[in-house]
Amino acid sequence: MPTPTEFLQSLVLVPVTLLPIINPLAGAPVFSMTAGPDPADTGPLARQVAINCWVILVGSLLIGTYVLDLFGISLPIVRIGGGLLVAASGWRMLNHHDDDEVRAAVKRSQAIAMSRAEVVKRSFFPLTFPLTTGPGTIAAAIAIGAGLPRQPALYVVGAGIAVLGATLTVAVIYLVYRNAARLMSRLGEVGALVMTRLMAFVLLCLGIQILWTGWSELNRLPVP
């Protein structure tokens, strides 16, 4: 059984690793424009996005490694690919006024009144994937899951801690999206821009770190 210190370290590892990649603050403006100002729409949509994200994160943590084994893909390659995607996302956010095509599409459609059913349909695409839990997040979650112990008893304990960490991560996403309109009004246009650029730089550095870790591990593997 892990000590209390090891338990806390393992618990914090998931949100600390995934939240800079997910960056819910950067997704808050898109969520706010999609949901609109009506709290009756914001609450259910934020909850549904959080549920979608939890399913994706837990699935990636627990079975992502086995899916890779099925297709014969090594974890260092996933880290390199995920690092490239994360770094590319950060670079794009640093050099464009719009973070991605999804945001631009949402901005073009914000003037169109959407029914409640249409808002709910947007809970998975684009809000959950790729805006919140994109390829970089999935790759990072798989990498965390690959570090779980293989002994059955220890695996159950580690998996439980990882699921709790994913739940904490999703709770942060829910709180940010639930209060997206309030956050944006307090930050203002300039504040939101500064926050997005700062998080974009963190995202770029994190992607390079993931890429470097994968490259280092790949170099230590024997040549087939």
Q: Are 172 and 24 in contact (CB under 8 A)?
A: yes
pLDDT of residue 109: 46
Which tokens hold the place of 136?
A: 């970089």
- 136 belongs to a structural domain: yes
- 49 belongs to a structural domain: yes
Query: pTM value?
Result: 0.72
- 224 belongs to a structural domain: no
- 204 belongs to a structural domain: yes
Report the number of distinct structural domains present in the chain. 1
- 223 belongs to a structural domain: no
pLDDT tens digits along 45-76: 999 999 999 999 999 999 998 888 888 888 78
d(CA 8, CA 145): 17
When pLDDT is cut at 50, 70 and 90, the band that residue 163 belongs to is very high
Which tokens hold the place of 37?
A: 């100002």
> Is 123 or 97 the better-scoring residue by pLDDT?
123
When pLDDT is cut at 50, 70 and 90, the band that residue 106 belongs to is very low
When pLDDT is cut at 50, 70 and 90, the band that residue 1 belongs to is low
Three-state SS annotation for 10-44: HHHHHHHHHHHHHCHHHHHHHHHHHHCCCHHHHHH
Per the structure, the complete domain to which residue 209 belongs is given by 4-218
Return the number of other C-beta atoms located less than 10 Å from residue 74's C-beta.
14
Average pLDDT, the chain: 80
> Is 150 or 39 the better-scoring residue by pLDDT?
150
- 195 belongs to a structural domain: yes
pLDDT of residue 135: 73
pLDDT at residue 111 above 60? Answer: no
pLDDT at residue 178 above 90? Answer: yes
Stated length of the chain = 224
